[in-house]
């Protein structure tokens, strides 16, 4: 196709001024057709995304939706079958969004190295160095040894004997978290925190999302002395993948023209929204990359993965319509594990593992809840739940341990084996404030 325009980074089509250099030779028919649709002629060059400053003098910009409408209108005149005109909403359709995902590098560990210079440049793990301890996170010096989040401390020490364990200081992490959130809010109100150290920002209204991301990174460094990585793209899924792509201290943009190739080569476990269990199921179906996933009909994905299949169909094409939601209210938080083999004698031990994970997540997400729910799935797939509600939110790991053990001890198994155990904390005191029981005085 001849080059008459290109997509700007605001998702608009830029038409080049019709100078001799960029006006291609065209057939008389093409020329006639273009006359009907004004200055808009043929193909859109999707391979270049020029920076805002290289706009040629005299060029005009039109929203891409208008251009597509003009193409379709022109086609209506030529085809015996005339496609219907688009719904009026088409014209007010959202421009291409600009989403940034920011994620601090080795967050807890970097804070510890920042505050204790003797730890800098050394392999450290934040977490409890006991027989049941797990690594919350590892410094980048420890990662080449295979030390990572959620790894048992014993295994971590075996992999990296010189690993230094540091106990977590959540109050410090929370205050850094508040600092970075304050920075995000200087650029947009549409900030959706995912945990203490990461957030999505919708900066569609700004001129260059990449410049904003770069600026936010330097502000974070200046104010917290910590590095963050940023990903920039047109939706949450791609922005999240992009922030991970050049870690640590990275900045990576997936521009609209690169989405197809990028997604095609991506292993399914890297998609934001496809968890470990789903990825494994996809592997068993022979789906390993975005390109494999793209081969599947939407109905087949729904057949295998339920409603989520619709979303996976979109992900394979780089489509993710989830909005950046500033006040996402979390109702509960939990963890569960499915055993490789059904069991009836390791439940106590498995419950401890799940509980550790739940406690870590409660801290990470600053979530508080008054209700603890124990979930069990038997070998015949029958599921039961047992719960207890307290007057105030769970405030210690010991308390969570005691309640979950009591709930488990009260279950009558009738000799059945168990295939899954899960623990959830819900019912935040703040959320239930508006349904306080009225007091009647007699």
Q: Which residues contact 431 (CB under 8 A, 6 or more apart)?
A: 329, 331
Can residue 251 be called a binding residue for ligand TTP (CB under 6 A)? no
Number of chain residues interacting with ligand TTP (CB under 6 A): 17
Please pick, from the candidates 64, 104, 160, 251, the single residue that binds ligand TTP as defined by CB under 6 A: 104
Q: Using DSSP, how many helices (H) and how many strands (E) does the chain show?
A: 14, 15
Q: Is 198 a catalytic residue?
A: yes
At CA 235, angle to CA 88 and CA 329, rounded to 5? 95
Determine the interface stretch with ligand TTP among 31-39, 101-109, 252-260, 282-290 (rule: CB under 6 A): 101-109
173, 177, 211, 339, 383 from 184: Cα distances, Å: 17, 11, 14, 41, 42
Residues 351, 410 contacting (CB under 8 angstroms): no
Can residue 105 be called a binding residue for ligand TTP (CB under 6 A)? yes
Strand order in the sheet with 371-378: 332-343, 418-426, 371-378, 383-389
Shortest Å, Cβ 335 to ligand TTP: 10
- Considering the complex, state which of residue 110 and residue 371 has its C-beta at the smaller distance from ligand TTP: 110
- Considering the complex, state which of residue 11 and residue 248 has its C-beta at the smaller distance from ligand TTP: 248
Of 308, 324, 315, the C-alpha closest to 269 is 315
Number of chain residues interacting with Mg ion (CB under 5 A): 4
Please pick, from the candidates 6, 137, 233, 404, the single residue that binds ligand TTP as defined by CB under 6 A: 137
- Considering the complex, state which of residue 26 and residue 365 has its C-beta at the smaller distance from Mg ion: 365
Instruction: Output the DSSP codes for 82-151.
Output: -PPPPPGGGGGPPPPP-EEEEEETTHHHHHHHHH-GGGTTS-EEEE--STT-BEEEE-TTTGGGT--TT-
Can residue 404 be called a binding residue for ligand TTP (CB under 6 A)? no
Please pick, from the candidates 40, 44, 136, 354, the single residue that binds ligand TTP as defined by CB under 6 A: 136
Largest CA distance in the chain: 92
Can residue 149 be called a binding residue for ligand TTP (CB under 6 A)? yes
State CA 411 to chain mean position distance. Answer: 37
- Considering the complex, state which of residue 194 and residue 408 has its C-beta at the smaller distance from ligand TTP: 194
Strand order in the sheet with 99-104: 191-195, 198-202, 99-104, 228-233, 251-253
Of 261, 319, 316, the C-alpha closest to 292 is 316
113, 131, 153, 169, 423 from 138: Cα distances, Å: 11, 18, 11, 15, 26
Buried b (16+ CB within 10 A) or exposed e, 144-182: ebebeeebbbeebbebbeebbbbebeeeebeebbeebee
Can residue 356 be called a binding residue for Mg ion (CB under 5 A)? no
Q: Which residues contact 119 (CB under 8 A, 6 or more apart)?
A: 112, 113, 139, 164, 166
Shortest Å, Cβ 195 to ligand TTP: 6
Determine the interface stretch with Mg ion among 3-11, 95-103, 115-123, 347-355 (rule: CB under 5 A): 95-103
Can residue 166 be called a binding residue for Mg ion (CB under 5 A)? no
Please pick, from the candidates 112, 192, 198, 356, the single residue that binds ligand TTP as defined by CB under 6 A: 198
- Considering the complex, state which of residue 105 and residue 202 has its C-beta at the smaller distance from ligand TTP: 105
Q: Which of residues 299-338 bind ligand TTP (CB under 6 A)?
A: none
Can residue 141 be called a binding residue for ligand TTP (CB under 6 A)? no
Can residue 155 be called a binding residue for ligand TTP (CB under 6 A)? no
Can residue 108 be called a binding residue for ligand TTP (CB under 6 A)? yes
Q: Which of residues 356-395 bind ligand TTP (CB under 6 A)?
A: 360, 364
Shortest Å, Cβ 241 to ligand TTP: 13
- Considering the complex, state which of residue 209 and residue 362 has its C-beta at the smaller distance from ligand TTP: 362
- Considering the complex, state which of residue 142 and residue 293 has its C-beta at the smaller distance from ligand TTP: 142
Can residue 103 be called a binding residue for Mg ion (CB under 5 A)? yes
The residue annotated as part of the active site, out of 112, 141, 192, 198, is 198
Residues involved in catalysis: 198
**Contact residues for ligand TTP (CB under 6 A)?**
103-108, 136-137, 149-150, 195, 197-198, 247-248, 360, 364
**Contact residues for Mg ion (CB under 5 A)?**
103-104, 107, 197
């Amino acid at each position: 196709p001849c080059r008459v325009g290109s997509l700007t980074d605001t998702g608009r089509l830029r038409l080049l001024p019709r100078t001799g250099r960029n006006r291609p030779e065209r057939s008389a028919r093409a020329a006639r057709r273009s006359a009907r649709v004004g200055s808009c002629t043929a193909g859109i060059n999707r391979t270049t995304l020029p920076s805002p400053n290289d706009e040629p003098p005299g060029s005009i910009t039109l929203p891409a939706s208008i251009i597509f409408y003009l193409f379709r209108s022109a086609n209506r005149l030529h085809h015996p079958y005339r496609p219907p005109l688009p719904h009026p909403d088409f014209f007010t359709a959202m421009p291409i969004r600009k989403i940034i995902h920011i994620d601090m590098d080795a967050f807890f560990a970097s804070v510890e190295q920042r505050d204790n210079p003797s730890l800098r440049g050394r392999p450290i793990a934040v977490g409890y160095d006991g027989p049941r301890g797990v690594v919350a996170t590892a410094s980048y010096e420890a990662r080449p040894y295979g030390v990572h989040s959620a790894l048992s401390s014993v295994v971590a020490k075996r992999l990296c004997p010189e690993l230094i364990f540091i106990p977590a200081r959540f109050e410090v992490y929370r205050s850094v978290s508040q600092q970075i959130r304050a920075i995000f809010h200087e650029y947009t109100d549409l900030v959706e925190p995912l945990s203490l150290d990461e957030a999505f920002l919708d900066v569609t209204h700004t001129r260059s999302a990449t410049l904003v991301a770069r600026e936010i990174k330097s502000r974070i460094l200046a104010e917290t002395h910590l590095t963050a990585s940023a990903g920039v793209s047109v939706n949450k899924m791609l922005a999240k993948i992009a922030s991970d792509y050049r870690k640590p201290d990275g900045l990576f943009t997936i521009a609209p023209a690169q989405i197809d190739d990028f997604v095609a080569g991506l292993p399914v476990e890297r998609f934001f929204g496809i968890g470990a269990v789903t990825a494994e199921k996809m592997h068993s179906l022979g789906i390993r990359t975005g390109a494999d996933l793209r081969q599947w009909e939407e109905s087949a994905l729904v057949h295998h993965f339920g409603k989520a299949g619709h979303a996976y169909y979109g992900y394979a094409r780089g489509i993710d319509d989830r909005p950046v939601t500033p006040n996402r209210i979390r109702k509960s938080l939990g963890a569960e594990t499915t055993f490789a083999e059904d069991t009836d004698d390791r439940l106590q031990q498995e419950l401890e593992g799940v509980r550790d994970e739940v406690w870590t997540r409660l801290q990470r997400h600053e979530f508080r809840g008054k209700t603890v729910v124990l979930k069990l799935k038997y070998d015949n797939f029958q599921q039961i739940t047992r719960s207890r509600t307290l007057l105030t939110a769970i405030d210690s790991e010991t308390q969570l341990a005691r309640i979950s053990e009591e709930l488990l001890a009260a279950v009558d198994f009738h000799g059945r084996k168990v295939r899954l155990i899960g623990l959830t904390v819900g019912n935040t005191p703040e959320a239930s404030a508006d349904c306080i029981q009225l007091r009647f005085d007699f």
